[in-house]
Chains A and B, each alone.
Chain A
Amino acid sequence: MNSRAVRLIAGTVLKESLRRREMYVLVFAACSLLAIILSMDFFGLRGLSKFYREISLRVMGLTTAFAVIVLAARQLPRELENRTIYPLLARPIRRAEFLLGKLTGVLLAGILCFALFMFIFVLGSLRMHVHIPWIHFLQHLYLQVLMLAIVATLGFLLSLLVNTDAAITICTLLFLLSAVSSMMLVNLYGYMDWLGRRVLIFLTYFLPQLTLFDLSEKTVHAEQWPPLQASVLLTLSLYASVYIALYFIGALVLFRRKEL
């Protein structure tokens, strides 16, 4: 594996996301959040730490996930459309390295978003004298990064199967519906025939249960919940790794034989 090639390609994705100013929308959202919080303090609305935590984590999760989905789903189609892929793949690099570089770049952009939000979150907390449950918060961030890695690899895979708009839509729907999909599948199971149940079982395993990576509720109500044990974090890391590997291999199989 040519790690320098992966680094260079990842750096290009990161540079693109910064220079094309797409991430600035997130900066704007983060600043708006801070402004709301500061104005709440201005009006003397104190004691809203749980509300503050909840809003911050929701905005952080949703905005970053959407940014990662859009970035991931657009990477390959945009390279093909603009024909920038030709001089790149004319170099002595493997398509796997190219794909891994792209994925790494998208993830780094997502992590950069998180870092920005974390800064805003901490700044707001200090301003409002809100206690930050650091262990819960960092565990939440770690799991969100895993979730983003799953969503990003799925975005890459879908962008090789369907057009960009469809890939973004499907990925976004999966992300948004993940909160209710597992409950919905359980409820529907009782009403299904044999074939329907097999389909539901397939969907349960094929679609990652993204709610497992959402610790926002626990972080909001940190006083009532202990942090996750290391074994749980390890299991979730393995669970995420399986999906990331499966989607990445799927994307690679399609991309390796793709005619350019």
Chain B
Amino acid sequence: MAESVIGVHEISVSYGKRGKTVKAVDNISFTVEQGECVGFIGLNGAGKSTTIKTLMGFLFATSGEARVFGLPAGTPSSRSRIGYLPEVALYYPFMKARELLELYGGLSGLPKQKLHEKIPAVLEAVGLGEKSEILLKHFSKGMQQRLGIAQSIIAEPDLFIFDELTSGLDPIGRHTLRSLLKDLKATGKTIFFSSHELTEVEALCDRVLIIHKGRIVRDAKIAELSAESGSKGLEQFFIDLVHDTEATHE
């Protein structure tokens, strides 16, 4: 059997020191398979970003194991196949969009010639075709987010990990992004993203993971959830699930 693209096995992540630790992620396990588009949803502070940062090697699991393409998560070789969009990221204000993509593409190992060919097309794809020579300090939040998406796709990775995918995007930006993700999905790429936009998740994903207070409380295919939620929709289903989980804990 082929190795999962993402394999998370009983990981826990804690913050803090000397007895004042907070368990942000509590013994979670899940997998993401090749070609899947998986949405990761939960309230603020539920553990979404912590899980994603652990997959990227920015945080370290206190127990358990996370693997990406069969390799320990966070190693340079596992990251070489990931396109990552951080939750909130500013990009160097003293650089131009083209220069930034040259930097990130170069760090991903793309040859200079290939980068020169690819950059205009990638900027065009995210709607920044005319902005390549503008310093990033003049970019709006939405433009920065589009640039963030551009930097994540520049090296044509096999797996995309997006933290708060549509954050800061206007309706046109969301539409562009949705088309882009559908194209990526059509080419067999694997996508794992967190979002608060449940309609976005519903429209794009094959499967949804719901995390609450550091624990995975639901892992189901969109079709199953749609059937279960009926006419009330994913948003109401999510709210009800969170309330039910709270009530069970109390």
Residues of chain A whose beta carbon lies under 8 Å from any beta carbon of chain B: 4-5, 8-9, 12, 15-16, 19-20, 82-84, 86-94, 257, 259-260
Contact = CB atoms under 8 A, between A and B. Distances in A.
Interface string B72-105: 0000110110101110111110110001000110
A87 B148 contact: yes
A49 to B, nearest CB: 40
Interface of B: 15, 53, 56-60, 76-77, 79-80, 82, 84-86, 88-92, 94-95, 99, 103-104, 106-109, 148, 151-152
26 contacts: A4-B106, A4-B109, A12-B92, A12-B103, A15-B94, A20-B94, A82-B90, A84-B92, A86-B84, A86-B89, A87-B89, A87-B91, A87-B104, A87-B148, A87-B152, A89-B57, A89-B58, A90-B79, A90-B82, A90-B84, A90-B86, A92-B76, A92-B109, A93-B107, A260-B53, A260-B58
A259 B59 contact: yes
A90 B100 CA distance: 14
Given A86-B58, A86-B86, A86-B89, A92 B108 contact: yes
Contacts of A90: 56, 79, 82, 84, 86
A4 to B, nearest CB: 6
A226 B79 CA distance: 55
A5 B108 CA distance: 9
Contacts of A19: 94
A5 B107 contact: yes
Contacts of B76: 92-94
Residue with the highest number of chain B CB atoms closer than 10 Å, among A5, A89, A91: A91
B149 to A, nearest CB: 11
B108 A91 contact: yes
Contacts of A4: 106, 109
The CB with the most chain A CB atoms within 10 A, among B57, B94, B107, B148, is that of B107
A87 B56 CA distance: 10
A97 to B, nearest CB: 9
B77 A92 contact: yes
A217 to B, nearest CB: 39
Contacts of A9: 107
Contacts of B90: 82-84
Nearest to B88: A83
A71 to B, nearest CB: 13
Contacts of A84: 89-92
Given A16-B94, A83-B89, A260-B53, A88 B107 contact: yes
